[in-house]
Structure 1
């Protein structure tokens, strides 16, 4: 699964990235 974050530079975005990296389903994270 590919995840696209818009404006993921804040604390919430970083927390989401950490959660997604732990998930086995997420293969790619794109931050716009």
Structure 2
């Protein structure tokens, strides 16, 4: 899984966060796990 602080996409296209939460705000190209 993707560790906290690393890049992710909410739709899971880049893998799943260990925390299961990908934080992404409007306008961001990518989010990050937290």
TM over 0.5: no
Name the TM tier (shorter chain).
under 0.3
More relative contact order, 1 or 2 (CA 8 Å, 6+ apart): 1
Structure whose CA Rg is larger: 1
TM-score (norm 1): 0.21
Structure showing the higher helix proportion among its residues: 1
TM-score (norm 2): 0.21
